[in-house]
Amino acid sequence: MMYLSIAVGGAVGACARFGMGSLVGRLLGHGYPFGTLIVNILGSFLMGALIEYMALRWSPSPEVRSLLVTGFLGAFTTFSTFSLDVAVQMQKGAYLAAGGYIAASVVFSIGGLFAGLYLMRMGLS
């Protein structure tokens, strides 16, 4: 049952990532990996908010927890795509853009996680 929960969450998360990436690409263009950046920041924020909510207010079954965290958010966030995006930028000779993308991804994704933790603590206390 655990594997099925993760698989279902992963399928939904992967589709959500694709949808978000497509939408952002249409809105902002495909010259810079904004879709991956936004998905990683949003996914990190959601991870922080969800983990804090589960720690403070909700104790889901292990299957539900795995569906949401390992399955959905594991498939929604895209650090393998992030690595490829960096390589593509570097192969194009866009070293400054690649460096900015690396820094923004790390700083804002970790910041998103802490923001999710903080907002859940403030909203639930």
d(CA 71, CA 11): 8
d(CA 57, CA 50): 10
Closest CA to 33 of 9, 15, 17: 17
For residue 81, what pLDDT is reported?
86
For residue 44, what pLDDT is reported?
93
Q: Mapping DSSP to helix (H, G, I), strand (E, B) and coil, where does residue 93 land?
A: coil
Question: pLDDT per position in the chain (125 positions), as tens?
Answer: 999 999 999 999 999 999 999 999 999 999 999 999 999 999 999 999 999 999 999 999 999 999 999 999 999 998 888 998 999 999 999 999 999 999 999 999 999 999 999 999 998 76
If phi over 0 gives left and psi between -120 and 50 gives alpha, with beta otherwise, what is residue 31? Answer: alpha
pTM exceeding the 0.85 threshold for the entire prediction: no
Which residues, in sequence order, are CB contacts of 105 under 8 Å at separation 6+?
A: 36, 37, 40, 41, 82
- Map tokens 């903080």 to a residue: 118
CA distances (Å), origin 45, targets 53, 56, 87: 12, 17, 25
